[in-house]
Structures are given as C-alpha cells and as structure tokens.
Amino acid sequence: MYKLTFDEIKKQAGNCVIRLSDNAFIPFDPANTDYANFKKEVLAGAELQDDTGNVMTQEQADAFIGGLA
C-alpha cells in the first residue's frame, strides 16, 4: 500500500510517495528501483491512497501512474 504526499509550502502534490509497510519515502525518480517497483505494483492492483488517505480507485491509480515519468 502506498500514499501520495502533499507539499504544504507549495500547496501541491509532493514529489514522492510513502510505502506504508515501512514508511519509506520513494522519490519520483526514474533511476530509483523502488520507484519502478511502486509503479508496477500499483498498476498490478496495489492500493494507492491520495494525500488525505482516501483510497483511489484502480482507474484513478492507473491514470496517476500514467502521468508519471
């Protein structure tokens, strides 16, 4: 399960995701293997929460992943 972050200073989505199993922050960096695994797992059905903790539908999660690098 993953949760998106929110940048309070910029008032916009953050540039990383939290892996809830170990509270690891994973930056949106194509060179990061955890980032690649995050995208694969969410596309395969892993739960993704928005920055407020609401679970995204699979369609919403797929669309979010599709908009990342």
pLDDT of res. 22: 98
Rg of the Cα trace of the chain?
11
Burial of 12 by CB count in 10 Å (0-12 exposed, 13-18 middle, 19+ buried)? Answer: exposed
Structural domain count, the chain: 1
Range of the domain at 24: 2-66
Query: Do 65 and 57 form a contact (C-beta atoms < 8 A)?
Result: no
pLDDT of res. 13: 76
Assign 9 a pLDDT band (cuts: 50, 70, 90): confident
Q: In what helix (H) or strand (E) does residue 27 lie, and over which residues does it extend?
A: strand 24-27
Strand order in the sheet with 2-7: 24-27, 12-19, 2-7, 48-49
Tens-place pLDDT, residues 23-57: 999 999 999 999 999 999 999 999 999 999 999 99
